[in-house]
Amino acid sequence: SGDAKPAGKAPVPAYAAKVATAVESLIDDDDNRGPLLVRLAWHSSGTYAKGGSPAGGSDGARMRFSPEAKDGANAGLEKARALLEPIKKAHPDISYADLYTYAGAVAIEHMGGPHIPFRFGRSDFRSEAEIASAKAAVASGRLPDAAQGASHIRDVFYRMGFNDQEIVALSGAHTLGRCHTDRSGFEGPWSFAPTTMSNQYFDLLNKEIEKPGYWTVRKWDGPKQYKDPTGELMMLPTDMALIEDDKFRPYVQLYAKDEAAFFKDFAAAFATLLHLGVDEAKLGETA
Ligand code: CCH
């Protein structure tokens, strides 16, 4: 018979829209959850090493188990995973690995950002032992250290396969959310609207270029961070590195001027990030 379809990519699963709605209501319930979900998606994916052994990345949802569950860089993300647990219970067919990344994509769009192209198909490890026997355990140290500078940022993101423009675009996620002393040791939000996706982070960094001295080192007991003239906002040393570095700085200036360019570049780079290390053959159609 002539109507057999060639084997192709799996269609977007039927649960996708319901999961998206459930994630959106989590964000609407409590303003602080969207940024936390974006951080979960990023830390799930950001362990990737091009050509690395283990490769890392979001496939497998290893953050539920040691060593990633205990990585200090992931402090606070147990809260994000707990928030998503009822959604996993209600939609058991979605893998944790898809859920942890998809929730971040949904959160970006629901907070006013661009649509993030997303493909389902990741699978889950079921235990620490299974991760160990697959030699897939990723030791701590692959996620960036906020106390460092441009060369460290390049080491980490080049390892994932990103270029300078993509590094700056991805960093714009810091418009969202805040630092917590009991998680990272740093304190405060980067922007005045931390639950709205915008280019405000770049606008605030650009103020330093236009008026040097806008950001100053905060005098306090905690780790080195910067404060703005209002004293309400903060920047990390890695954020300031984006304007100190000659190759990063032009992208900060571009995105400060042009939010549409930021959204377009962010959507592309964040989509790439969420799919790093996932076998192309496992991934379905783009949602
Ligand atoms: Fe980030 N980030 N991030 N970040 N991050 C923190 C919080 C968020 C670094 C350090 C920190 C990205 C890149 C970097 C988010 C998204 C992204 C915190 C505070 C630190 C420290 C954690 C706490 O205390 O709760 C460093 C260093 C880099 C790169 O060099 C990238 C890339 C993304 C996403 C695309 C989001 C969102 C948050 C807010 C989380 C919240 O709970 O509000």
Q: Report the first-to-last Cα separation within the chain, whole angstroms.
A: 31
Contact partners, residue 38, CB within 8 Å, separation at least 6: 104, 107, 108, 173, 176, 177
Contact partners, residue 81, CB within 8 Å, separation at least 6: 40, 63, 64, 100
CA–CA gap between residue 228 and residue 208 (Å, rounded): 10
Q: Is 242 in the pocket of ligand 1 (CB under 6 A)?
A: no
pLDDT of residue 280: 94
pLDDT of residue 32: 74
Instruction: Classify 15 as helix, strand or coil.
Output: coil
- Of 27, 37, 39, 109, the residue with max ligand 1 atoms within 8 A of its CB, to mutate for a pocket test, comes to 39
39 C-alpha vs ligand 1 centroid, how far in Å? Answer: 6
Q: Which atom of ligand 1 is nearest to the CA of 266?
A: 35
Per-residue pLDDT of the chain (287 residues; tens, 9 = 90+): 455 666 789 999 999 999 999 999 999 986 679 999 999 999 999 999 999 999 999 999 999 999 999 999 999 999 999 999 999 999 999 999 999 999 999 999 999 999 999 999 999 999 999 999 999 999 999 999 999 999 999 999 999 999 999 999 999 999 999 999 999 999 999 999 999 999 999 999 999 999 999 999 999 999 999 999 999 999 999 999 999 999 999 999 999 999 999 999 999 999 999 999 999 999 999 99
ipTM of the assembly? 0.99
Residue ranges of E strands in 186-279: 188-189, 216-217, 226-227, 234-235
133 C-alpha vs ligand 1 centroid, how far in Å? Answer: 31
Between CA 215 and CA 197, with CA 252 as vertex, the angle to 5 degrees is 90
pLDDT of residue 222: 97
239 C-alpha vs ligand 1 centroid, how far in Å? Answer: 10
Q: Is 195 in the pocket of ligand 1 (CB under 6 A)?
A: no
Question: Please, what are the domains in the chain?
Answer: 16-141+269-282 (1.10.520.10), 150-266 (1.10.420.10)
pLDDT of residue 4: 62
CA–CA gap between residue 78 and residue 126 (Å, rounded): 17
Q: Is 169 in the pocket of ligand 1 (CB under 6 A)?
A: no
Q: Is 252 in the pocket of ligand 1 (CB under 6 A)?
A: no
Q: Is 266 in the pocket of ligand 1 (CB under 6 A)?
A: no
Backbone angles phi, psi at 286, to 5 degrees: -80, 130
- Of 111, 148, 179, the residue with max ligand 1 atoms within 8 A of its CB, to mutate for a pocket test, comes to 179
What predicted TM-score, i.e. pTM, was given to this entire model?
0.97
Instruction: Classify 232 as helix, strand or coil.
Output: coil
| CA 86 from centre of chain | 22
Catalytic positions = 43, 190
52 C-alpha vs ligand 1 centroid, how far in Å? Answer: 23
